[in-house]
Amino acid sequence: MESRKRKRWLIALTVGVFAFGIWFFFLRNTEPSYEGKRLSEWLVQYGQPSWGDSEKAKEAIQAIGTNGLPILVSWIAYDPGSWRRKLWMTTYAPGTQRPRLWTVANKYQGLIQRSPTLRQLVFGGVERAFASQQAFEALGPMAAPAIPWLHELASRSGNSDASRRAVNALVYIGPTAIPALTNLVATTGLAGDILHRNSLEHFGAQAAEFAPFLIEQVRHGELRLASVSADSLGALRLDPVQAIPALIEATSSPDTKVRRAAVHALSEFEAEAISAIPALQRLRSDSNVTVRADAARAIEKIKGKPPE
């Protein structure tokens, strides 16, 4: 049954990529506008509330609607090249942890706002790329026709910035994009971005569809993914019947971060995690003092007692 469902999804994806590709080919170089302002100008206003009315910009993006999808996807796919990326991320302003580019842009934001040419010079395509992923937040489910192309972009771009922007756009679209995202979890190295609690919170109750992937990562994933997945299971209280035993197993992990994430996740299930008490009691003798403290607090929370 699962294989047939997966096959249907892949067929639908192939057809969708083909159809969107035709649309993309004809419209990617046609930038739509609303009330005399181009989409790219509305994106800047939406992403930088201090530069204008963000609600008006959201209204404009929604009014442009699906007509803007081809060009938004092409902007999301922007690759600045390795030399630019290295320059931006290694040249920090004195005494800060922010690239010098962003520090200068903030200092002169009024001037940059008034000059699209200067804005393009300062930011290049990267500002527009990040603003484009934010546009999908404004569009939400309206942007569903772009799902196949965003999935294709995320799949072929590896772990690049473009692939992560495509994932973020899919998350913003909402539950309609869940099949595409679960496919990416299984077939790419983007699981950490997709399974993070900040991403899954967008799906509400339907985040439960990610529970099997989260549980698998807690049990068999590499350490960072195990920790992220445990945190998501607890924060969203997903599938307690299956999740709690997996989290109990994770309390025996040799990695401190995974043990802490498992303990915290179990505490989020509160009384449902009563079966975890023996494992948590053992952790009160853990070699790590923070794990010991976390375990004590988790026991109190599960038992319904206020922490001391």
- Which residue did the predictor score with more confidence, 303 or 85? 303
pLDDT digits (tens, 9 = 90+) for 117-153: 665 655 667 778 888 999 999 999 999 999 999 999 9
User: Token pair 């004195």 is at which residue?
Assistant: 94
Domain spans, the chain: 1-80+124-194, 207-308
pLDDT digits (tens, 9 = 90+) for 19-41: 555 554 544 457 899 999 999 88
pLDDT at 110: 59
pLDDT digits (tens, 9 = 90+) for 203-259: 999 999 999 999 999 999 899 999 999 999 999 999 999 999 999 999 999 999 999
Alpha carbon distance 69, 132 (integer Å)? 9
Question: What's the Cα-to-Cα distance from 108 to each of 40, 57, 128, 189, rounded to whole Å?
Answer: 20, 22, 18, 38
pLDDT, mean over the chain: 83
pTM of the model as a whole: 0.78
Alpha carbon distance 171, 174 (integer Å)? 5
Q: What is the dihedral of CA 222, 244, 232, 284, to 10 degrees?
A: -80
CATH class held by domain 207-308: mainly alpha
Point out which residues pair with 99 in neighbouring strands: 92
